[in-house]
Amino acid sequence: MDVINKFRSTVTNTMSQLSTVLPGNPVTREYEATKHIASAGIGLLWKIYSGYKKSTQQPASIFLLEKRQLDKWSKTEREHIIEVVKKGVAQLTRLKHPQILTVQHTLEESRESLAFATEPVFCSLANVLGKMENTPQPVPKDFQDYSLFDIDIKYGLMQLGQGLTFLHNDAKLLHHNLCPENVIINEQGAWKIFGFDFCSHSTNPIDPNPTWSSWEYKVDVHPWAQPNLDYLAPELGCSHNQIKANDMFSLGILIFAIYNKGNAPLLANHDWATYKRNMQEIKNNTPNLSNVVIGLREPLSLLLSFRSDDRLDEHEFLKIEFFNDVGVKTLNYLDSLFQWDNLQKSQFYKGLPQIMEKLPHRICLNRILPCLVKDCVNPVMIPFVLPNIFYVCENCTKDEFINHVLQCLKPIMKVHEPVQVPFIFLQKMELLLKLAPPEDIKSDILPMLYKTLELDSKPVQETCLSVIPSLAALVDGPSMKNALLPRIKRLCLSTSDLSVRVKCLVCIGKLIEYLDRWLVLDDIIPFLPQIPSKDPAVIMGILGVYRIILSHKKMNITKETMALSVLPFLIPMCIENTLTLNQFNVLISIVKEMVASVETEHRAKLQQLNEQNRTIPNSLMLENETTKSNGLINEFQFKNHTEKPSLQLSGFDDIANNLSSNYDDSKAKKSQDVSFQMFQQDFPLTPRVEKSNKTNPAPKDLTSSLIDSNINQISWSNKIKPTTSSLSQSKSMGFENKPASLQGRLLGFDNNSFTSQNKPMSLQNSANNWNELWTKQEETQHVKQLSISDINDLLS
C-alpha cells in the first residue's frame, strides 16, 4: 500500500504541476502526461514528460516549453526565441528517418506554453552527461544509475553519422547546432537527432552537389536564438561559409564532450570574442585527446581539424575501425531486420546468445529485446526468437521482467503452432515461475499448460506433465477438478505411448498432496482401474499412486474402499506373467499391506461390537441381582405371555431375547430353577403397573372382589378341561407343583390388576377373545347359582 500511495501522490503532484500549463494546450485533448522525466533543446528549455495517447493507450513523450521561463528577457528576445523554437519543431515534423526523432503530434501553442508529442524517450544526451536544468528534482534514480557503455557510445555515434548522412545527402539540410542538448536517447537507447532550430536548406536541392547560403552570427541577438558557440565550426563563425563539414566539426566536439563529462574542449560562454580566441587556439593546437578511447583518437583529431578539407565526411566517418565491433554490427543488424528473409534471420538468431553474453544487460533489455519482440509477429520465426528472449530474462530482476518482458510474452503464449513454441515455454517454466506474479501465472501460464496437454506431440506432452507439479500449488480447487485432472486422465486413457501414460501416473502421484480427500476418492481411485494397459511400467505407476494415497495422512482410506475398490483390482495383477520378481514383490507387499489393514480394522470393529453385546446382558444381570423382585416379575410375565397374551409385564421381552441368544438351554433351565428358588422366598409378589396419565379408578371392596374371583375360577374349572397345551404351559411356567392357593393368587392378580388401558393392543385383543369364549360357555351351559351357605363353606 505504501508503494501505491507513493505512486498516487507522485501522479497527483505531476498533474497539479501540469494543470497550470497544459489546460489550454490542444495537445492535452489527445495525450495524457504522467511524469516529468527530462529536458532537452536550446538552454534545455523543453521539459519532457512521459505519457500516452488517450485513444490508443500508445506510449508517448510530451515536450513542453513554458513561456514563463522567458519572462526575464525582453519581449523581442522572447518572441525571437519562440519563433526559432517553432521553426525547429516544424522542420522536425517534416523529417522521417530512423535516426531522427519521430513526432507523433505536431506543435500546439497556447497562451502559456508550446507542446508537441513524440515517440517515447528517456532523456537527452546532455542530461546523461550531467546537465540537469529543467529536470525533475531530486534527480531520478534512472539518471543516477545510468552510465554510457562503450557499446552505447559506439552505436550512438554510428546512428548520429547515419542521421547526418540522411540530412546532407537526402534532405539537403545542414543541422548547424549538433550538441548534447539536441541529441535525444529514446526508451530503447537509440540516439536521435533533435533541435533543427537553426537548420539551413540547400539553395539547389536538385543538384548532386548542393550549396547553402552564407550565415552570420549576430552579436545583438539572444544566445538562445543562435547556435551554441561551443560547437560552431570555425569556417561558419569566421567565414560565414555553410558546408557539410560544419556538422562534422560539431560532431567532433560532441564526441570530445562525451569523454570530457559533457564539456567542450574550449568554452565560449556565449561570448563572441571568446569564441574567436578559442578557434585560433584550435587552429594552432589540437585539443588534448587523452580522455578519448584509443580507437577514436585519430578520427577525432581529423574531425576537430581547423581546415574543413581535412575533416572526415559522414561516409568516411561510418567506415572507421572504431565501429568494426560485433556489438555494433549486431545492433545495426537488428535495426534492419525487415530487410532480411526468414532463413537469414534464423541463422542470425541462432548465434545471438553468444553475442549477448558480451553485451551489458541494459543493452540486451532495452535495445535487443524490442527488436526481438517485433519479429514475433511472424509465427514461423518465434521458435528462433523465443530462446533469445528467455536469455535476456535470465538476467532480469522481477520488476524488469514485469515492465519489459511479460507483456511481450503474453501474446506468444497463445501461439501453439509450431509446437516448438509451447515446448520452449515448458523448458523455461522454472524461470517464468520465478519472475512472473501469481496472478499472471493463473491468468496466462496455466491456460497455456491446459492447452499444451491437448497437443499431439509426445515431447511436449511429457515435458508438460513433468512441469505441472511445480505449478500445482497455484491451481485452485475448481480448476484442478474441472480443467487439469480431466485433461491428464483423458491423455492417460487415450494415448498409445507407454512413456506418456507412465508420465501421467507419475504426475497424478505428485499432485495427490494438493488434492482434497474427496477428490481422490471420487476421481483418482475409480480412475486407476480404467487404465487399459497391463504393462509392468504402468502397473508400477499405479502402485506408486496407491502407495502415495495410502501413506498420505489426510487421505485416511477406509477398509471399505480398499476391500471393494482397490483389492479387487490389484489381486488379479498378482498373476501377471510379465512382472519381474522385484515388481511382483512390490505388488504383493502392497496387497498384503492393504489386506492387513482391512483385517486389523475390521477385527477391531468386530471386537468392539462383541464387547458391546456382552456389556448389555451383564449390565442387565447386575440390575436383576440388585432388583431381584423386578427381575423375577419380568421373567414370569414373559413366560406367561407366551401362551396367555392377557398376562404381560412390560420390559421383559428384551431380557428374554438376550437370555435366549447368549445361553444354551441347560443354562436357561438352571437359571429358571434359581429364579423359582428365589421366588419361593419371602419376596412379595407385587405386579408392576405401568404408569398412566388417567385418574385412578374408585377403590373396590376387596372382600367382594375376592369372592367373585373364586366363584369364577371354580365355574371355569368345572366347565372347561385344560388342554395339552395349557397343561404344558402350566408346567413350563413351573405351576404343576405349586399349591392351588398360589395359583389362585396369581390368577386373581391377572384378573384384578390389569385393565385394558394398561395392556398392549395385542393383549387387549386376547382378553376380548377370552371374554367372548366365556360368554359362549355361559350360553351353552346353565350353571347352578350358589347360595350363601355354599359360598361360606368354600371360604372356610
Asked whether the beta carbons of 559 and 601 are under 8 A apart, the reply is yes
Gap between the Cα atoms of 483 and 473, Å rounded: 15
Gap between the Cα atoms of 601 and 639, Å rounded: 41
Q: Is 117 helix (H, G, I), strand (E, B) or coil?
A: strand
Residue 679: CB atoms within 10 A of its CB come to 19
Q: Which of 514, 537, 541, 317 is nearest to 527 (CA)?
A: 541
pLDDT digits (tens, 9 = 90+) for 79-135: 999 999 999 999 999 999 999 999 999 999 998 899 999 999 999 999 999 898 888
The reported pLDDT for the residue numbered 495 is 86
Q: Where in the chain is the domain with CATH 1.10.510.10?
A: 7-323
Q: Which of 300, 195, 190, 313 is nearest to 255 (CA)?
A: 300
pLDDT digits (tens, 9 = 90+) for 526-579: 888 888 878 888 888 888 888 888 887 777 777 788 888 888 888 888 888 878
The residue count of the chain comes to 796
The reported pLDDT for the residue numbered 59 is 92
The reported pLDDT for the residue numbered 647 is 34
The reported pLDDT for the residue numbered 604 is 85
The reported pLDDT for the residue numbered 666 is 44
- When pLDDT is averaged across residues 709-726 and rounded to a whole number, the result is 50
The reported pLDDT for the residue numbered 649 is 36
User: pTM for this one?
Assistant: 0.67
Q: Which of 730, 763, 751, 773 is nearest to 646 (CA)?
A: 763
Query: Does residue 623 surpass a pLDDT of 50?
Result: yes
Q: Where in the chain is the domain with CATH 1.25.10.10?
A: 325-470
Question: 26 pLDDT band (50/70/90 cuts)?
Answer: confident
Question: CATH number of 325-470: 1.10.10.1150, 3.30.420.40, 3.30.360.10, 1.25.10.10?
Answer: 1.25.10.10
Residue 640: CB atoms within 10 A of its CB come to 21
Pick 254 or 4 by higher pLDDT: 254
pLDDT digits (tens, 9 = 90+) for 695-711: 445 555 555 566 666 66
The reported pLDDT for the residue numbered 353 is 92
pLDDT digits (tens, 9 = 90+) for 217-260: 888 888 899 899 999 999 888 878 889 999 999 999 999 999 99
Sheet holding 191-193, edge to edge: 121-124, 183-186, 191-193
Pick 395 or 630 by higher pLDDT: 395
Asked whether the beta carbons of 753 and 689 are under 8 A apart, the reply is yes
% residues pLDDT > 70 (the chain): 74
Place of cell 385344560: 722
% residues pLDDT > 90 (the chain): 29
Query: Does residue 435 surpass a pLDDT of 70?
Result: yes
**CB contact burial 281-316 (16+ within 10 A = b; e otherwise):** ebeeeebebeebeebbeebbebbbbbebeebbbbee
CATH 1.25.10 matches 475-606: yes
Query: Does residue 460 surpass a pLDDT of 80?
Result: yes
- When pLDDT is averaged across residues 424-437 and rounded to a whole number, the result is 91
pLDDT digits (tens, 9 = 90+) for 301-337: 999 999 888 999 999 999 999 999 899 999 988 888 8
The reported pLDDT for the residue numbered 210 is 82
Query: Does residue 592 surpass a pLDDT of 60?
Result: yes
pLDDT digits (tens, 9 = 90+) for 493-530: 888 888 899 999 999 988 888 888 888 888 888 888 88
The reported pLDDT for the residue numbered 653 is 42
> CA end-to-end span of the chain, whole Å?
111
- When pLDDT is averaged across residues 586-609 and rounded to a whole number, the result is 85
Residue 366 CB burial class (10 angstroms; 0-12, 13-18, ≥19): buried
The reported pLDDT for the residue numbered 758 is 42
Residue 34 CB burial class (10 angstroms; 0-12, 13-18, ≥19): middle
Mode of pairing for the β-strands spanning 113-118 and 173-174 = unpaired
Query: Does residue 754 surpass a pLDDT of 50?
Result: no
Gap between the Cα atoms of 401 and 405, Å rounded: 5
- Record the cell numbers describing residue 586, joined without a space: 512390490
- How far are the Cα atoms of 398, 461, 709, 719 from residue 426, in angstroms, in the given order? 19, 10, 102, 105
Segment holding 95, helix H or strand E: none
Architecture category of domain 7-323 in CATH: Orthogonal Bundle (1.10)
Query: Does residue 687 surpass a pLDDT of 60?
Result: no
Question: 266 pLDDT band (50/70/90 cuts)?
Answer: confident
The reported pLDDT for the residue numbered 120 is 94
pLDDT digits (tens, 9 = 90+) for 43-87: 999 999 999 999 899 999 999 999 999 988 898 999 999 999 999
pLDDT digits (tens, 9 = 90+) for 175-200: 999 999 999 999 888 999 999 999 99
Phi-psi region of 91 (alpha: psi -120 to 50; beta: other; left: phi over 0): alpha
